[in-house]
Amino acid sequence: MDIYNLYNIDMEEIEVNNMSPLTWAYIGDCVYELYIRTYLVNKTNSKPNKLHIAAIQYVKAKSQAEILKRIENNLTDDEKDIVRRTRNTQNHHLPKNAELKDYMYATAFEGLIGYLYLTKNTERLKYILDLCLT
């Protein structure tokens, strides 16, 4: 089953480009968390509570900010622009459990993941997600 048919994503790239980068981050948060949860379920034989605790280590803002900084040299110029646009978008939400700078970089990371997902750039999305685990 094609994941895009499952979720009925039928947008042209120009439509995605016209979205708010915070919308990219909104969907990117979900895509990244699903990727991490799937990775942990495949990697371990843990119970849900331990899976949840392990997932938090990957999906918290500080970890995502560190991942983005680590993989930045592997990004294309267009992807760096997506990251910059998302990071610089004014967000009125203040983080409860993270430094503002980490939160901004985590949002930028999620924006990149969401953008790649929404534009159906599956090969590049998989490459970026796999980099997160190395």
Q: Which residue has the tokens 């490459």?
A: 127
Average pLDDT of the chain is: 89
Domains of the chain as residue ranges with CATH: 19-132 (1.10.1520.10)
> Does the structure show a pLDDT above 50 at 1?
no
The set of catalytic residues is 29
The model's pLDDT over 119-131, given as tens digits with 9 standing for 90+, comes to: 999 999 999 999 9
* Kind plus residue range of the DSSP H or E element containing 2: none
The pLDDT, as a whole number, for residue 8 is 59
pTM of the model: 0.89
Cβ distance 129 to 39 under 8 Å?
Answer: no
In 44-99, alpha helices (H) = 48-59, 61-71, 77-88
The model's pLDDT over 94-113, given as tens digits with 9 standing for 90+, comes to: 667 778 888 899 999 999 99
Cβ distance 98 to 60 under 8 Å?
Answer: yes
Task: Locate the DSSP E strands across the chain.
Answer: none
The pLDDT, as a whole number, for residue 55 is 93
Cβ distance 59 to 40 under 8 Å?
Answer: no
